[in-house]
Amino acid sequence: MNKKIFKLTFLAFCLLGSSIALSQTISPPIGVSCPSNNSTFVFTAEFDDSDGWIGDITTNNIGGNWEVPGNSDSSSTGPNSAFSGSHYMNYEASGNVNQLSASIISPVIDLTTATDGAELSFYMHAYGDNMGQLEVGVSNSISGPFTNVFTWAGQLQTSSSEAWVPVGINLDAYLGQSIYLEFKNTRATFSSRADMSIDLVRVETCGTFCISPTLSLNYVNSNDTNAFASFSWVANDSETSWEYVVIPSGTSIPTSGTLSSVTSIVENGLSFGAEYDVYVRANCTNGNSIWAGPLTFTTPIQTDFIIDCSVGPLVESMCYGDNGVVNPEVFTYTSTDGTPLTLTFQSGYVQEGWDPLVVLDTDGSSIVAYTDYFFGNEGDLTGVSYTSSGNRISFYIASDDFLPSSCASGDLPMKDGINYTVSCATCTNSESTFAFVDDCDNGDQYLLDVSVTSLGSAASLTLSNNIDLNTTSITSVGTYQIGPFPFNIDVIYTLSNDQDFNCVFNSLPIQLMACIPENNDCLNATVAVVNTDESCAQLTAGTLLSATPSGVASSSCSGDSDDDVWFQFIALDDSQIITFENIVANDNASGINHAVYEGSCGNLNELYCIDSTTSITPQLVIGNTYFIRVFSEGSDDEDVTFDLCIKPGFNSIEVSDTSHTVEELIQDILFGSDCANVSNITFTTGTSFSDTQPNGIGYFTMDGEEFPFSEGVLMTTGHAIAAAGTNSNLMSAGGSAWPGDNDLDTNFGVDSRNATIIEFDFVPYSPNISFDFLMASEEYTGAIGGTDECDFSDAFAFFLTDSNDNTTNLAVIPNTNTPILTTNIHPENTSCFAINEEYFGEYITENLPPMNYNGRTVVFTAQSPVNIGETYHIKLVVADDRDSQYDTGVFLKAGSFDIGELSLGEDITIDAGTATCLNEPIILNTFAPDFPHVWFKDGFAIPGETSSTLTVTEPDFYEAQVIFSGNCMIFDSILVEFLAVPTANPAVDLSECSTTNQAVFNLNENDSNILGDQDASNYTITYHSSEQDAFDDLSALPTTYTNVSSPQIIYARIEDNNSGCYATTSFLLVITQPSHTAESVDLIGCDFDDDGVASFDLASHDIAILNGQDASLFNVYYYASEADAMADSGALPNSYDSSGETLFVRVESVDYANCYVINNFNLIIGNEPFTSFSSDSNYEVCPNASSPIIIEAIPENYATSEVYITWYRDGGIIEGENSLSLTVLEAGLYEVEVEFNDTGCIGVGQQLVSESASCV
């Protein structure tokens, strides 16, 4: 059975830019200036009716069209009343969403003799926050195109009572022309709050005119022989003569008409059921006006008929309208000679249950009364026949006033109308059936087998048809073949009584569109493939085109099996899902029915029949053959192709509302624990208020994986048991006797009703509680073409209240406070975008498992932190919002309400990657500090451990027992393993020399000490200034580190590169005083130029300062002051001139400058000894002299005791000569070097001794 959507929906949208029109201007009417003539309103429409206007106009308040109301029928839109007169022209925005825009066109407006100027004026009311766009156009032709002269978009007024706004439009460009006006309104969105209204449309211009009269329709009626109409007009000038024309609609505008001096006309002799146009024009002294009109009307259909028995039967068809109970359309037939009449319905439907057939006898009494509620065979009137007692018979359809009932505006199967025959009851008609015979081997054609089952009162019949001239004489019952007939041509066969021409049977039009399918009957059923998984990877193609009745008895479906085709399959599972995929319908299509049979052809047993494209079979026998019969819903031929998919079925949920009490549902099902501390369980549902209301609480089970929960508790806004089975029925249970819930109304702003509530108290045993649930709802209509999930949602909540009356709703979208509703969890729909789609579970396919809701969410977990041992109250509530339609259910997973089964957590193991290092204790916690505990290690109680926590430092099996009461003791055990830690071997203290108590240390000098024999590639060593930093592996020190105190503790961390486990050790950084020295040795400089200043080579003094210490270990610097030496500032250059002073020397370690010592010494100035030679002496020697001469050096500023004397000849030292006198035998340059003994200053004197050329 199809799920039909009957919810009355009023939607309101606000689109950006459509609620208030901005940056638009309206020019009011300014009138026309007529310097040469008077001004005249040549056209006025006050809209007390719509006569003369054509286009999208309705008198039935049909949405998407213009209408002439007295006020707006919708709230929050439209004016309170007309601007002028009693009515106005209004665009009705409510309903008919398929019509985007509507236009109306005025009668012709004559500006052919207008001069000077012309202006269109009207009044506009545009109140409604979803107002669309009004366009005004002008054209010289009633069919357009129209040139836009005015546009308004959006809301203008802000209330119904706000004044109408006048609009003025210049029409000077149309002087000398005949024009038509178009008012076109286009929707901004599909909303009822968008009624655009206009009133008092006028055209003013200058000149002398013959103005057309204003034409209106008075009434349209009929009698036995013809229809007639009354119309009238009002003169708009001083004329007293007119012309009028009544012509069939669509005829060209007339050139002349019937003269009249009166303004009201009754036109007789009109055809039944025909559409006419009326035109009127004025005959003025200055000429004729243009034609007013067309005024269009439709005459009634003929309802009174005369039957002439000498002519033969009357064959007619009819369509019935609405409201036939109050205003019936009665069809009456009267024979001319008093013969009773027989009414026979050849075909046609009425709406079963709503539109009964009524038949009246000659005297007006009922043959079939309204109160008989006769609907034929489930609405089918075919074959129904009645005979009157006298010469008159009448009938009508007592239709309701709800939906269009018949023909073009009706639903299948009523839309095909009703065909019937009225004949004089002078004989009994023949009876026959027919069957198609395939003749495709001979071309695109077929044959008909006409089976005559009764000749009636005839002795002989003549069989003929409308295609050829062949006839067959029939004198006995039997089958007679006629044809062949081509495809797609209506064939009617006729059986005529050769003895009485009133007895004629005409078949309905018969047509075949193509060759009859091969699987047209059970014996030729197509073997369908059966899929072994949930996909439809393998399909079997089929068609209904030209299928004919198979002869098998009608199924239990409402559809007409006159075009059935057959398939067979072998069951591979104990149930199978049958779906029809890739359906393609050409032209009309009424929908697919299918039935499933067991047995064999000729001995079939129907298992079920369904008017849907999906179904699931009942229990089948694996390996048995079953048959599928496929046919259309309607009686017409249909060109439909499809692919048949058969795949494994699955189970549906089962629901019982009697198997458990509510207390059992909570204690045993939802909690499922003997230790659950639950009390004060209360509930309300429909049955709490009336025995006639549904029970919304039930226990559900599910055998299979197609639903997330195998069992649990179901809370619904309707019948809980109705949720079981396939998705085949719309659930909208519950009435006004079943109230809503104030908490939902207050917290969610809903108007709840049909609330199902379960409440109870509980005491948690752990710091967190949780339970699993999902929401299912009939509001999820997206998969069946609905949009309810965009705008409608029921409501539910889980209100958790603590002992301080703090309440929290647990039924929220994860990580938000947003309640879980169909409107905020759904995929994209034709009317709205997707929202939180990741939390939408699935749509449930129509007629398929696992449940009778249209869709559901994913599984959610309601959860909250709690205080162990505190009493909490929870209220589980679900309710309908605003109405009782479209039920919602909340499924609670059995055993999922977790309030504290003791858990120490998963085992802590090395393999699982959860083990910690041996030096990092594990704290086990039951989170139940208020209850007695016993802790066990490897099966033995641990003495003294009775609290809720246990610090574990050794690997082993541990167990905790918590005693909640004498009846409830819960326990859990856990394996704890630890990772090995590296060894931090002792580190040595590091010392450095410094006079400032700081030095630079190379910390990684201790790496090898800490590692010991451990492989350095497997470990990382870091150094830290605090033990906590070493523990936390924070703020590692650089390996080159300057201490901050002496001694300073440094903490070393050695970490296993694989496990991250670590160990620590420590050592000291110690500052020592300098152990080296700086000798104080004076340095003497010689004043060679006797200016009191000497040059000193300070670097040469380093050896004396170091006094044997290794020069490579020290740097030696000289300073003019002790302060400079201490600050290491202003070191003197190695070559230094001085007149004598005290210098300071700094000797520092090459490794650290602050490891230094300072001393001082003096710079001493020494004079140069001066030596001269007597100028009186002759310093010559003879060649090869044997007699020496004496060179005598003369001291100038010293005594011989103060100096040391050395002689040189030609640069070579003369050994042993240390006095001022020197005996010389050879020529040469002689030098005497004199050195002061105390200063080392040296002076040199020179004397050249030459060799005489000869000596005597």
Residues 579-592: what's their mean pLDDT?
Answer: 88
**Beta bridge partners of residue 584, listed in sequence order:** 641
Which of 69 and 542 is assigned the larger pLDDT? 542
* Residue burial 454-484, b: 16+ Cβ < 10 Å; e: rest: ebbebeebebbbebeeeebebeeeeebebbb
Confidence of residue 71 (pLDDT cuts 50, 70, 90): low
Rounded CA separation 89/71 (Å): 10
What is the CATH class of 538-648? Answer: mainly beta
Is pLDDT above 60 for 1082?
A: yes
Rounded CA separation 519/522 (Å): 7
Confidence of residue 17 (pLDDT cuts 50, 70, 90): very low
Which of 378 and 626 is assigned the larger pLDDT? 626
- 304-307 vs 331-335, strand pairing mode: parallel
Residues 319-325: what's their mean pLDDT?
Answer: 81
**Beta bridge partners of residue 715, listed in sequence order:** 697, 890
**What number of residues does the chain have?**
1256
pLDDT, tens only, 1067-1081: 999 998 898 898 988
pLDDT, tens only, 1179-1230: 888 888 888 888 999 998 899 899 999 999 999 999 999 999 999 989 999 9
Q: CB–CB of 294/278 below 8 Å?
A: yes
Is pLDDT above 60 for 9?
A: no
pLDDT, tens only, 1120-1162: 999 999 889 999 999 999 988 999 999 998 888 889 999 999 9
Share of the chain above pLDDT 90, in %: 61
Residues 13-42: what's their mean pLDDT?
Answer: 68
Rounded CA separation 1144/1078 (Å): 10
Is pLDDT above 70 for 724?
A: yes
- 990-993 vs 1062-1072, strand pairing mode: parallel
Is pLDDT above 60 for 14?
A: no
Q: Supply the pLDDT for residue 6.
A: 33
Question: For residue 391, is it left (φ>0), alpha (ψ between -120 and 50) or beta?
Answer: alpha
814 prior amide bond cis, ω within 30:
no
Is pLDDT above 80 for 651?
A: yes
Q: Supply the pLDDT for residue 662.
A: 96
What is the CATH class of 431-506? Answer: mainly beta
Mean pLDDT (the chain, rounded): 89
**Beta bridge partners of residue 1049, listed in sequence order:** 1068
Share of the chain above pLDDT 70, in %: 96
Confidence of residue 358 (pLDDT cuts 50, 70, 90): very high
pLDDT, tens only, 853-879: 999 999 999 999 999 878 999 999 999
pLDDT, tens only, 215-226: 888 999 988 788
Of 1.25.10, 2.60.40, 1.10.3470, 2.120.10, the CATH number of 1083-1167 is 2.60.40
Q: CB–CB of 111/179 below 8 Å?
A: yes
In Å, what is the CA distance from 850 to each residue of 704, 889, 1166?
A: 9, 14, 122
Residues 422-438: what's their mean pLDDT?
Answer: 89
Compute the CA torsion angle 184, 185, 187, 191 (nearest 10 deg).
-150
Is pLDDT above 50 for 1?
A: no
Q: Supply the pLDDT for residue 469.
A: 93
In Å, what is the CA distance from 1128 to each residue of 640, 993, 1103, 1148, 1157?
A: 107, 17, 20, 10, 11
The mean-pLDDT minimum among 283-287, 530-534, 599-603 falls in 283-287
Which of 338 and 965 is assigned the larger pLDDT? 338
Contact partners, residue 1186, CB within 8 Å, separation at least 6: 1225
Q: Supply the pLDDT for residue 404.
A: 53
**Beta bridge partners of residue 569, listed in sequence order:** 626
Joined tokens for residue 835: 């929202």
Q: Which CATH architecture has domain 218-298?
A: Sandwich (2.60)
Backbone angles phi, psi at 370, to 5 degrees: -55, -40
Contact partners, residue 785, CB within 8 Å, separation at least 6: 5
694 prior amide bond cis, ω within 30:
no
Rounded CA separation 607/555 (Å): 10
Secondary element (H or E) of residue 200: strand 196-206
Q: Quick one: DSSP state of residue 766?
A: S
Is pLDDT above 70 for 3?
A: no
Q: Supply the pLDDT for residue 22.
A: 42
Backbone angles phi, psi at 919, to 5 degrees: -90, 10
Q: Which CATH architecture has domain 1171-1251?
A: Sandwich (2.60)
Q: Quick one: DSSP state of residue 1032?
A: H
Confidence of residue 4 (pLDDT cuts 50, 70, 90): very low
Q: CB–CB of 1042/1122 below 8 Å?
A: no
Residues 803-820: what's their mean pLDDT?
Answer: 95
The mean-pLDDT minimum among 887-891, 977-981, 1248-1252 falls in 1248-1252
Joined tokens for residue 1047: 């001694």
Does the domain formed by 39-209 have CATH 2.60.120.200?
yes
In Å, what is the CA distance from 331 to each residue of 112, 113, 343, 785?
A: 50, 53, 11, 40
For CA atoms 86, 92, 93, 94, the dihedral sign is: positive
Q: Supply the pLDDT for residue 411.
A: 64
Is pLDDT above 60 for 273?
A: yes
pLDDT, tens only, 730-776: 999 999 999 999 999 999 989 999 999 999 999 887 788 999 999 99
Residues 810-819: what's their mean pLDDT?
Answer: 95
Q: Which CATH superfamily is domain 304-424 in?
A: Spermadhesin, CUB domain (2.60.120.290)
pLDDT, tens only, 1102-1117: 999 999 999 999 999 9
pLDDT, tens only, 631-649: 998 877 889 999 999 999 9
Is pLDDT above 50 for 459?
A: yes
Q: What is the CB-side half-sphere exposure of residue 206 using CA atoms within 13 A?
A: 13
Residues 336-357: what's their mean pLDDT?
Answer: 89
Confidence of residue 1240 (pLDDT cuts 50, 70, 90): confident
Residues 693-717: what's their mean pLDDT?
Answer: 95
Question: For residue 906, is it left (φ>0), alpha (ψ between -120 and 50) or beta?
Answer: beta
Question: What is the three-class DSSP state of 1244?
Answer: strand
Joined tokens for residue 178: 């005949």
Of 3.90.320, 1.10.3470, 2.40.10, 2.60.40, the CATH number of 990-1072 is 2.60.40
Q: Supply the pLDDT for residue 72.
A: 63
Residue 199: Cβ within 10 Å count: 22
Contact partners, residue 922, CB within 8 Å, separation at least 6: 908, 916, 951, 952, 953, 976
pLDDT, tens only, 90-119: 998 877 766 788 999 998 888 988 888 999
Q: Supply the pLDDT for residue 19.
A: 36
